[in-house]
Amino acid sequence: MYVIKNYSRLPVSFVRGEGVYLYDDKDKRYLDFLSGIAVCSLGHSHPKLVEAICGQAKELLHVSNLFENPWQEELAEKLVEEFWTAGKVFFCNSGTEANEAAIKLARKFFRDRGEDRYRIITFRKGFHGRTYGSLSATAQEQFHRGFEPILEGFDYAELNDIDSVRERLREDTAGIMLEVIQGEGGVNECDPEFLRGVQELCRERGVLLIVDEVQTGIGRTGRFYGYQHYGIEPDIITLAKGLGGGVPIGAMLARDEVAKHLTPGSHGSTFGGNALACRAGLVVVEEVKRLLPHVAEVGAYFRKKLEDLKVGKVKGRGLMLGLELERECRDVVLEALERGLVVNCTAGRVLRFLPPLTVEKEHVDEAVDILKRVL
Ligand SMILES: Cc1ncc(COP(=O)(O)O)c(C=O)c1O
């Protein structure tokens, strides 16, 4: 009644969750193959996560970023340990904010060196968020409509087409920003060769490579960061979603040499990386590191089962999978929900699966059985 209707919500009200299951207000059980769109990486009510959050709530929820923050230090160290080189972390609250930080840092990096470079190349069907910088980086006009003018300084290229990147590179290009697997755009994976080409162009032209790992990061694809599958070395990566396991947190990691340009006072966030969010992040990161082989194994199993359905093209990696149908998939989502399976439809015809990273093969069997009946 009083909430703005900016979402088309599905007709279910979940009241509790346990592992990979959700329960609605009539106590009906659902298998959750969406995880709050890649957020609840450890499933629901994970005992270690619950304990850490409750414990921290009893001690201290928040102090301003005006003060020392040992929880951020601890979490940042864990995130940098997995990065390809020495780096530093800025904490915020969401994916769009992490990308705003990345865009600002890319501009500042060059401006501090007296170079007037500010443009960023992004990709068609990509998604980087809804605030103005990230929205402008999102090369999909449907998200811009009515909100124009979007920000100046973004050039849109075609994914997996290195010539289209080369054509858009200019003297004043500061960065190239991409998702190694586009999530919202329909689970579209970058070709390894294309990514290596982008990396080469970045090195040749001194352009920063920014990888948006908001959806692909924190174990989702079977590696800690999605870029690790492709042998590239980004200058900046952005994180959010799965990092807090359900507690809002975002992060931007940058190579030391780049990170140092985010000087005191240049950027900030009131809530970013508060004690509660970082404690949650610490538990998630510890657990996810252990779960990586599991994600790869169950992901491959799930992929095979989807392929065996022979109803469409299977896309993605690990536990970030898509099934591209010949038709619109919203009805499939509704019918699956009716039968107790939560999935999502993206880019019109792509059924998207983002189960908790703790999902087991028997849950995959259960989900595929439901899908089989629905399809
Ligand atoms: C790749 C990617 N980047 C950024 C975002 C924006 O994240 P948030 O909704 O937390 O702002 C999303 C959200 O779906 C995403 O998938």
Mutate which of 37, 184, 214 for ligand 1? The one with the most ligand atoms within 8 Å of its CB, which is 214
Distance (Å) from CA 252 to ligand 1 centroid: 13
How many residues belong to the chain?
375
Atom number, ligand 1, closest to the C-alpha of residue 183: 16
What are 5's two structure tokens?
């209707």
pLDDT class of 176 with cuts at 50, 70, 90? very high
Check residue 103 and give its pLDDT: 98
Asked whether 213 lines ligand 1 (CB < 6 A), one says no
Check residue 279 and give its pLDDT: 98
The amino acid sitting at 119 is R
Residue range 51-87, pLDDT digits in tens: 999 999 999 999 999 999 999 999 999 999 999 999 9
Atom number, ligand 1, closest to the C-alpha of residue 37: 14
Q: Which of 121, 161, 156, 158 is nearest to 141 (CA)?
A: 156
Atom number, ligand 1, closest to the C-alpha of residue 182: 1
Asked whether 240 lines ligand 1 (CB < 6 A), one says yes
**Which position has the token pair 């124009």?**
148
Distance (Å) from CA 216 to ligand 1 centroid: 10
What are 121's two structure tokens?
């190349």
Asked whether 212 lines ligand 1 (CB < 6 A), one says yes
Helix, strand or coil, per DSSP, at residue 89: strand
Q: What domains appear along the chain, each with residue ranges and CATH number?
A: 14-46+291-374 (3.90.1150.10), 49-285 (3.40.640.10)
CB atoms within 10 A of CB 286: 13
Residue range 138-164, pLDDT digits in tens: 999 999 999 999 999 999 999 999 999
Mutate which of 7, 39, 128, 178 for ligand 1? The one with the most ligand atoms within 8 Å of its CB, which is 128
What are 372's two structure tokens?
């089989």
Check residue 292 and give its pLDDT: 98
For the chain, percent of residues with pLDDT exceeding 70: 100
Q: Which of 355, 250, 246 is nearest to 306 (CA)?
A: 355
Q: Which of 364, 351, 282, 264 is nearest to 313 (CA)?
A: 351
Distance (Å) from CA 60 to ligand 1 centroid: 28
Compute the distance between CA of residue 68 and CA of residue 273 in angstroms, rounded to an integer: 12
Residue range 15-51, pLDDT digits in tens: 999 999 999 999 999 999 999 999 999 999 999 999 9
Q: Please list the active-site residues.
A: 127, 212, 241
Q: What is the 3-state secondary structure (H, E, C) of 261-274?
A: CCCCCCCCCCCCCC
pLDDT class of 208 with cuts at 50, 70, 90? very high
Distance (Å) from CA 65 to ligand 1 centroid: 24
Distance (Å) from CA 85 to ligand 1 centroid: 25
What pTM does this model have?
0.98
For residues 224 and 288, is the Cβ–Cβ distance under 8 A? yes
The Cα-based distances of 7 to 10, 23, 181 in angstroms read 9, 21, 24
Could you tell me where the DSSP H helices lie in the chain? 35-38, 47-59, 70-81, 95-112, 132-137, 141-144, 162-168, 192-205, 256-259, 275-309, 330-338, 361-374
Asked whether 189 lines ligand 1 (CB < 6 A), one says no
Asked whether 219 lines ligand 1 (CB < 6 A), one says no
